[in-house]
Amino acid sequence: MKFVHIADMHLDRAFTSLSDKGVMGDLRRLEQRKVFKKIIEYIKENNVDYLFISGDLYEHDYVKQTTIEYINELFKEIENVKVFISAGNHDPKVKNSYYNKFNWNSNVKIFETFIEKVEEPDCNIYGYSFDDFYCNSCGIENFNIVDEGKPNILVIHGNLDGSQKDDKPYNPISGRVLEEKGFNYVALGHIHKSNYNLSLAQKIIYPGSTVSLGFDEPGKHGMIVGEIKDTLKLEFVPLDDEVFTRRELNVDNLNSKEELIEKINSLEIMPNEYVEIILMGARNFEIDKYDLLKYILNERIIKIKDETKIAVELEKIANENTLRGLFVKEMLEKLENTEEDKKEIIEKAIEIGLNALE
């Protein structure tokens, strides 16, 4: 038997935190569809028997019915392939979910909200769906395989070796327990970084998110292709043509916004890169990252992050017997008593104040 294992596509994701350029969300959603189509074409061309989708296929809060219809039409193109879906925390099988209210094609099986077994001629397939946006336990520790005469596969969304004490539990599962249960393959979803390693004899696998969902998901993204005969053979197949990269740029020796814009526009960027520029060092002028984006020529630069510091010795200024010294002293006291995530606002206020007092 031959299978494809994917997870965490997050179709119709809002991408609100990904870019300072509004068009990025639309482009990435189109690329998600393109990659899903590529998966179906691979399945058709390579005689795949099963497609396992281990949760977060779509975003419950944002998905459109037209997207569900698009997915289902693609499933119709692989009528002879059995599609097994385990709902996750972003697409839980709640009462009003499309998993419940949509008429899916006959080759699609969406698992129930308990561990369910489906017997196929060449294997047994087990699965579990979230019934809410969080899950304390799927009950796998109380489950045992009965039929060991053919391969047994588990399709599930969950946090491998996660803690049940987490404030927001996402079905914590013990790797030791999964090993003891004796599954021939465990098709996991939830973690967006693949744990596949060619040099290891693995059978409990996260394929990672099918496409990169942002700058915190670098590297290759794709699917796992597996085959079970006498042994388990696995291969990671990259699918996402786009790469998210971060570039650090030091501003120590730059003295104006114009110089910074020229520096950014001179960067060499590959056609398949989406780039986040991280500004570092000590700044000698006020930086407005949103204003900078207006002057960036390369559309592949989609985000700017400012991690610079003011290029002045604030402690030294605070000791001055001047108006600006009194101002800086008072602001530094506020900075010391401010929560970490709000310190940037105080720092910016100091910079604007110093410019006004020059």
- pLDDT digit string (tens) for 192-240? 999 999 888 899 999 999 999 988 998 899 999 999 998 999 999 999 9
pLDDT at 19 (0 to 100): 59
Provide DSSP, 181-192: HT-SEEEEES-S
Question: From CA 16, how far away is CA 357, in angstroms rounded?
Answer: 37
pTM as predicted? 0.87
Amino acid at the residue 245? T
The whole-number average pLDDT for the span 247-265 is: 95
What number does CATH give the domain 2-238? 3.60.21.10
Question: From CA 236, how far away is CA 196, in angstroms rounded?
Answer: 7
CB contact set of 219 (below 8 Å; sequence gap of 6+): 193, 212
pLDDT at 311 (0 to 100): 74
User: Tokens 């005969």 belong to which residue?
Assistant: 229
Residue 279 vs residue 215, higher pLDDT = 279
DSSP label at residue 4: E
Query: Using CA of residue 103, residue 112, residue 43, residue 123, what is the dihedral sign?
Result: negative
pLDDT at 165 (0 to 100): 62
pLDDT at 279 (0 to 100): 97
Res. 68: pLDDT tops 90: yes
Per DSSP, the chain holds a count of helices (H) and strands (E) of 9, 18
Res. 163: pLDDT tops 70: no
Of 51-65, 132-146, 297-311, 332-346, where does mean pLDDT reach its minimum? 332-346
pLDDT at 328 (0 to 100): 87
List, as own/partner pairs, every contact residues 20-24 make where C-beta atoms lie below 8 angstroms and the sequence separation is at least 24, other chains included. 20/289, 20/290, 20/293, 20/302, 20/303, 20/304, 21/293, 21/299, 21/302, 21/303, 24/274, 24/302
User: Tokens 């990659």 belong to which residue?
Assistant: 35
pLDDT at 65 (0 to 100): 97
Q: What is the pLDDT of residues 314-345, one digit of tens each?
A: 888 889 889 988 998 998 888 888 888 778 78
Q: Do the Cβ atoms of 62 and 96 come closer than 8 Å?
A: no
Q: Do the Cβ atoms of 210 and 227 come closer than 8 Å?
A: no
CB contact set of 36 (below 8 Å; sequence gap of 6+): 9, 11, 71, 74, 210
Range list for CATH 3.60.21.10 in the chain: 2-238
- Cβ neighbours of 250 (radius 10 Å): 13
Amino acid at the residue 277? I
Mutual angle of helices 65-76 and 23-45, in 10-degree steps:
20
Q: What percent of the chain has pLDDT over 90?
A: 70
Give me the chain's average pLDDT, please.
92
The whole-number average pLDDT for the span 231-253 is: 94
Q: Helical H runs in the chain?
A: 23-45, 65-76, 98-101, 175-181, 257-265, 289-293, 314-318, 323-336, 343-357
pLDDT at 172 (0 to 100): 95
Instruction: State residue 104 phi and psi, 5-degree precision.
Output: -75, 155
pLDDT at 72 (0 to 100): 98
User: Tokens 């006498």 belong to which residue?
Assistant: 230
Closest CA to 157 of 223, 206, 88, 213: 88
Residue 312 vs residue 285, higher pLDDT = 285
Q: What percent of the chain has pLDDT over 70?
A: 97
Confidence of residue 79 (pLDDT cuts 50, 70, 90): very high
Question: From CA 204, how far away is CA 183, in angstroms rounded?
Answer: 9
- Paired residues of 283 in beta bridges: 310
Task: Compute the residue count for the chain.
Answer: 358
Closest CA to 52 of 67, 62, 39: 39
Say if strands 222-228 and 232-238 run parallel, antiparallel, or are unpaired: antiparallel
The whole-number average pLDDT for the span 88-117 is: 97
Of 39-43, 76-80, 130-134, 211-215, where does mean pLDDT reach its minimum? 211-215
